[in-house]
């Protein structure tokens, strides 16, 4: 422990500067204009893995963005940890809301502000540096494999193929991921589940062209109004989702499980204050922690139609669009929910419009075990580094590859994230606390130590 702390202290500035260099690459996977930067980020990541001491480092091409692989096999009789992370980031827009530019990392008040600071560059880079630390201090007790991808934020489509084609190379005893949140640095936690996802786009088409809203208004249905009504009808007065069959497969938690989940610290007043909302909202009969952790949801991520420029234009739009996502919980599956949504949305369309539904991407929900030695190792590591044991929580976000690792490779995951929900992931002014970054680098080698010991 002392040796770990000393190493971090001795290399403090470099550890931070290297992360800053990584954050300067605008590796936005969703927008093709950043293509070159995304590829450079993969190369930088590979170089840093090599420098840290990894063998067989490779920037593996895919149909999309490359996957960076590297490994250190010290002894085939020792357990193997597969570290997964992603070097791609979400688009930074809206740019005008950033206090400092998204790809010029800036420290304010002990926090690093940049797109990807927390999700996931700041977090996966802790693993590269913790690995370096273990290599340089001669204390790596397990085999380690790194797989850092560049398409997580757009659905990891090519990663699935890579995993299927590289089963032997990816063989491991556990997957370790830092891409989730903790409750706070004072009350550390470990996420034990992630929601799945069905993401699709809908289009409601009315007249064959935009019309004068005075000449035709009143006689022709307005697709924007129709879309708004259709979307509004997807929740009932109890905020249940109205799609027939939507809840059929949902695993209900036992009274004990619900109680354990609700024991996590949650201050509703703080929650509302942080978001500047007067009331929380959600499915009747469930707490906020349950609503985000254990219940499926439906959200409109974007909606557009007609004239949205400066000033006023009188127009009855020809069509209206929305991007809709549903978060899924065990035992829902993304294919089935996408099908149920499509059938329902098509069925509720009134005769004045035509409806088109286009699926984007999906991912399956997961619950990770809390009785495994890997989970115990994470518990021990966090307890040692933070002084208090972690609280198990259920995360609301999605990391589709976790279910795939289990299905394809039969490997379970430990979600040892160090972010905070308040780190503004996917929002303007994303940040990551410098404290969390160093704390992560300190905790990770402890995980390896305990995992190796418990595996004996
Ligand atoms: N790291 C997040 C997921 C996350 C964040 C899980 C916080 C738990 C707590 C990941 O990068 C992400 O944003 N995933 C997407 C899904 C993907 C298919 C676009 C998401 O959850 O929206
Ligand atoms: Mn992420
Ligand atoms: Mn993300």
Q: What is the mean pLDDT of the chain?
A: 97
pTM value?
Answer: 0.94
**Distance from the alpha carbon of residue 353 to the mean position of ligand 3, in angstroms:** 35
2-194+366-454: which CATH topology?
Aminopeptidase (3.40.630)
Q: Which atom of ligand 1 is nearest to the CA of 362?
A: 18
Kindly state if the Cβ of 197 falls inside 6 Å of ligand 1. Answer: yes
Residue 208 confidence class, pLDDT cut points 50, 70, 90: very high
Q: Which atom of ligand 1 is nearest to the CA of 400?
A: 18
Question: Mind giving me the DSSP string for 127-184?
Answer: HHHHHHHHHHTT---SEEEEEEES-GGGT-HHHHHHHHHTTTTT--SEEEE--SEES-
434 has a pLDDT exceeding 90: yes
Residue 157 confidence class, pLDDT cut points 50, 70, 90: confident
Predicted confidence at residue 411, as pLDDT, reads 98
238/263: higher pLDDT: 238
1 has a pLDDT exceeding 90: no
Average of per-residue pLDDT across 288-303: 97
Q: Which of 398, 418, 430 to mutate to test the pocket of ligand 1 (most atoms within 8 A of CB)?
A: 398
Which residue's CA is the closest to the ligand 1 atom numbered 6?
A: 397
Predicted confidence at residue 178, as pLDDT, reads 98
Distances (CA, A) of 455 to 42, 150, 452: 33, 32, 5
**Distance from the alpha carbon of residue 64 to the mean position of ligand 3, in angstroms:** 18
Ion ligand 2: residues, CB within 5 A, are: 119-120, 179
352 has a pLDDT exceeding 90: yes
342 has a pLDDT exceeding 90: yes
Give alpha helix (H) positions in 348-433: 373-386, 401-404
**Distance from the alpha carbon of residue 402 to the mean position of ligand 1, in angstroms:** 11
Segments of the chain assigned to CATH 3.40.630.10: 2-194+366-454
Predicted confidence at residue 414, as pLDDT, reads 98
**Distance from the alpha carbon of residue 196 to the mean position of ligand 3, in angstroms:** 13
What backbone torsions phi and psi does residue 143 show, to the nearest 5 degrees?
Answer: -80, 150
Residue 155 confidence class, pLDDT cut points 50, 70, 90: confident
Q: Which atom of ligand 1 is nearest to the CA of 155?
A: 18
Q: Which of 196, 399, 415, 425 to mutate to test the pocket of ligand 1 (most atoms within 8 A of CB)?
A: 399
361 has a pLDDT exceeding 90: no
Question: Mind giving me the DSSP string for 219-250?
Answer: TB--HHHHHHHHHHTTB-TTS-B-STTTTTTP
What counts of helices (H) and strands (E) characterise the chain? Answer: 12, 21
Kindly state if the Cβ of 425 falls inside 6 Å of ligand 1. Answer: yes
Distance separating alpha carbons of residues 420 and 437, to the nearest angstrom? 12
Kindly state if the Cβ of 397 falls inside 6 Å of ligand 1. Answer: yes
Start-to-end CA distance of the chain, whole Å, equals: 21
234 has a pLDDT exceeding 90: yes
Give the start-end residues of each E strand in 339-435. 354-363, 366-367, 391-393, 413-415, 419-420, 431-433
**Distance from the alpha carbon of residue 393 to the mean position of ligand 2, in angstroms:** 17
pLDDT in tens, 191-201: 999 999 999 99
The distance from CA 285 to its chain's CA centroid, rounded to whole angstroms, is 27
Nearest bound ligand to the CA of residue 397: 1
- H-run or E-run covering 315: strand 315-316
372 has a pLDDT exceeding 90: yes
Distance separating alpha carbons of residues 27 and 37, to the nearest angstrom? 5
Distance separating alpha carbons of residues 164 and 196, to the nearest angstrom? 20
Nearest bound ligand to the CA of residue 419: 1
Residues in the chain: 456
109 has a pLDDT exceeding 90: yes
Task: Count the Cβ atoms, other than its own, within 10 Å of residue 197.
Answer: 23
* Owner of token pair 């010991």: 453
Segments of the chain assigned to CATH 3.30.70.360: 196-250+296-363
pLDDT in tens, 258-287: 998 998 999 999 999 999 999 999 999 999
Coil, helix or strand at residue 319: strand
**Distance from the alpha carbon of residue 400 to the mean position of ligand 1, in angstroms:** 8
Task: Count the Cβ atoms, other than its own, within 10 Å of residue 110.
Answer: 10
Residue 15 confidence class, pLDDT cut points 50, 70, 90: very high
CATH class, domain 196-250+296-363, is: alpha beta
Predicted confidence at residue 247, as pLDDT, reads 98
Q: Which of 118, 149, 179 to mutate to test the pocket of ligand 1 (most atoms within 8 A of CB)?
A: 179
pLDDT in tens, 29-82: 999 999 999 999 999 999 999 999 999 999 999 999 999 999 999 999 999 999
Task: Count the Cβ atoms, other than its own, within 10 Å of residue 411.
Answer: 18
404 has a pLDDT exceeding 90: yes
């Amino acid at each position: 422990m002392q040796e770990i702390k000393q190493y971090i202290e001795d290399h403090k500035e470099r550890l931070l500067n290297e992360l800053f260099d990584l954050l300067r690459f605008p590796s936005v996977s969703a927008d093709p204009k950043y293509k070159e930067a995304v590829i450079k980020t993969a190369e930088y990541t590979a170089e840093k893995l090599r420098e840290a001491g990894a063998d067989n480092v490779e920037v593996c091409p895919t149909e999309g963005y490359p996957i960076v692989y590297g490994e250190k096999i010290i002894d085939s009789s020792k357990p193997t940890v597969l570290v997964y992370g992603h070097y791609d980031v979400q688009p930074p827009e809206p740019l005008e809301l950033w206090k400092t530019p998204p790809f010029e990392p800036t420290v304010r008040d002990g926090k690093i502000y940049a797109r990807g600071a927390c999700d996931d560059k700041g977090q996966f880079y802790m693993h590269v540096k913790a690995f370096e630390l273990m290599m340089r201090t001669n204390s790596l007790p397990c085999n380690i494999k790194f797989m850092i991808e560049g398409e997580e934020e757009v659905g990891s489509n090519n990663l699935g193929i890579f995993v299927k084609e590289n089963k032997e190379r990816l063989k491991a005893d556990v997957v370790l991921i830092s891409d989730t949140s903790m409750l706070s640095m004072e009350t550390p936690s470990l996420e034990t589940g992630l929601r799945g996802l069905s993401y699709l786009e809908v289009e409601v088409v009315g007249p064959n062209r935009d019309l004068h809203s005075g000449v035709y208004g009143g006689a022709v249905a307005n697709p924007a109004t129709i879309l708004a009504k259709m979307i509004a009808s997807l929740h009932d007065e109890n905020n249940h989702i109205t799609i027939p069959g939507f809840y059929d497969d949902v695993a209900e938690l036992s009274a004990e499980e619900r109680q354990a989940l609700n024991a996590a610290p949650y201050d509703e007043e703080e929650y509302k204050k942080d978001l500047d909302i007067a009331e929380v909202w959600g499915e009747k009969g469930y707490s906020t922690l349950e609503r985000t952790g254990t219940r499926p949801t439906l959200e409109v991520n974007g909606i557009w139609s007609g004239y949205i420029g400066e000033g006023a234009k009188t127009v009855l739009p020809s069509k209206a669009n929305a991007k809709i996502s549903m978060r899924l919980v065990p035992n829902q599956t993304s294919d089935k929910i996408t099908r149920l949504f499509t059938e329902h949305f098509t069925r509720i369309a009134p005769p004045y419009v035509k409806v088109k539904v286009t699926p984007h991407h999906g991912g399956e929900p997961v619950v990770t075990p809390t009785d495994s030695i890997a989970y115990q190792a994470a518990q021990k590591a966090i307890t040692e580094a933070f002084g208090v044991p972690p609280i198990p929580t259920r995360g609301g976000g999605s990391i589709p590859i976790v279910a795939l690792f289990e299905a394809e490779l039969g490997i379970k995951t430990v979600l040892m994230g160090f972010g905070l929900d308040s780190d503004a992931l996917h929002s303007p002014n994303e940040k990551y606390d410098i404290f969390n970054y160093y704390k992560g680098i300190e905790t990770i080698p402890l995980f390896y130590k305990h995992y190796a010991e418990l595996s004996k």
